[in-house]
Homo-oligomer: A and B are copies of this chain.
Amino acid sequence: MTEQFKLYCFAQSGNAYKAALFLSLAELDWDPVFVDFFNGETRSEEFKKINVMGEVPVLVDQDKNISQSGAILHYLSLKTELFTTNNSDLKLEISRWLLWDNYKLTPNLATGRFMSLFLPEAKRNQSVIDFLLGRASASLKILNNHLVDREFVVGDNVSIADLSIAGYIFFTEEFDFDMSPFPNVISWRNRISKLRNWQHPYDLMPGHPIKR
């Protein structure tokens, strides 16, 4: 039997994980399609036919082909009515935190991690890494303050805002990134990791460890 959804992804992509985590927590039928990022697949002409932006994740739902983790999360929550709310004010809050993640947290945390972990030493620029991880820390401080009296980012339940923000926060122990100033973020991450059907990105998506 063919699964309903296909997700182009690879284990080290926190952006793909945002979508994979939704699919897993919601117990949807899906198959991962491995994209060999570390050997250049997202830069190939063939992959650009799947996504002109040259990025994972891409979700395939029958004839629909959707990229950008935030668009996928909105699409899946609209389709399944999961990890969202009927309250229009809270819906706006979810959208606001999801955009905040895409603008302020993930670009800095993901790129700082990538340059720290996956770039050959000769190509690493420490001042760029320090800049990016400094901005990621400033963003995590905002999140940490926000979570002081909250179980989840918006309202009382886990939403696509949590799934988006959490994407790269499951990787922070892999490299030299200090999470100790953000205890509320750590508690929140623990809450997410205890949800039924939660799995770590390396277990949920193919491609770990990296083969070059």
Contacts and interface: CB of A to CB of B under 8 A. Distances in A.
30 contacts: A52-B145, A52-B146, A53-B104, A54-B142, A64-B89, A66-B92, A67-B96, A68-B95, A68-B96, A68-B99, A68-B103, A69-B99, A70-B95, A70-B103, A71-B92, A71-B95, A71-B96, A71-B99, A99-B99, A99-B102, A102-B103, A103-B103, A103-B107, A107-B107, A107-B108, A125-B127, A127-B127, A127-B128, A128-B128, A128-B131
Interface string A51-65: 011100000000010
Interface in A148-198: none
Interface of A: 52-54, 64, 66-71, 74-75, 89, 92, 95-96, 99-100, 102-104, 106-108, 125, 127-128, 131, 142, 145-146
Contacts of A106: 103
Nearest to A97: B68
